[in-house]
Amino acid sequence: MKTNIIFILIISVNLICSSGFGQQKVDVTYIANSGFLIESNGKQIIIDGLFKQGWDTYLTPSDSVISSIVNQREPFEKSNLMLITHNHGDHFDASMVVDYLLNNEENILIGSPNVTNAVLQHPEYKKFGGQIVQLDKLNREKTIQPFKELGCDHFLYNMMHAHN
């Protein structure tokens, strides 16, 4: 499981950095567990950054970090794109993600069907339903568009997830 998350992080950084042969500065900030903030070209993406449930000895984000993400305060002030890899409590909390989406109508969530369906269960889903992109084969072009805006031109994702 951890290997898959590290692979996703490496691919994400590679995608953000790989527009042509020129080098671009990429900042990676560790949030907790498998949560990261990646910044390049003045844009930010948060991966698995809003959750409260810990697992074993893995770290959870502090209340101040969660508040900074949801309210887009430094260093998350340009974080209009959030990717949730899967619906496990140590990667994702639906109510926190809803707060993030309600805070700014430009915020976008990209997630697997089980993530997006959990968020759409919220009673106010009509206020942010258009900000959600379901990561699946049918929405492939819509899914990769925000990454294209970051300057990425290579895309790879795996839809399988092993259950232990």
Q: Is residue 2 part of a domain?
A: no
Q: Is residue 7 part of a domain?
A: no
Contact 133, 142 (CB under 8 A): yes
Q: Is residue 8 part of a domain?
A: no
Can you list the alpha helix ranges (DSSP code H) found in 29-112? Answer: 63-70, 94-103
For the chain, give the number of residues: 164
Contact 58, 33 (CB under 8 A): yes
Q: Is residue 27 part of a domain?
A: yes
pLDDT digits (tens, 9 = 90+) for 34-65: 899 999 888 899 999 999 988 778 899 999 99
pLDDT for residue 12: 56
From CA 97, how far away is CA 10, in angstroms rounded? 23
Which residues lie across from 110 on neighbouring strands? 83, 133
pLDDT for residue 133: 85
Q: Is residue 12 part of a domain?
A: no
Cβ count near 34 (within 10 Å): 24
Residues spanned by the domain of 47: 22-149
**For the chain, which ranges sit under pLDDT 50?**
1-7, 19-21, 156, 159, 161-162, 164
Predicted structure pTM score: 0.73
From CA 58, how far away is CA 48, in angstroms rounded? 13
Q: Is residue 141 part of a domain?
A: yes
Q: What is the mean pLDDT of the chain?
A: 78
Q: How many domains does the chain have?
A: 1
Q: Is residue 92 part of a domain?
A: yes
Q: Is residue 95 part of a domain?
A: yes
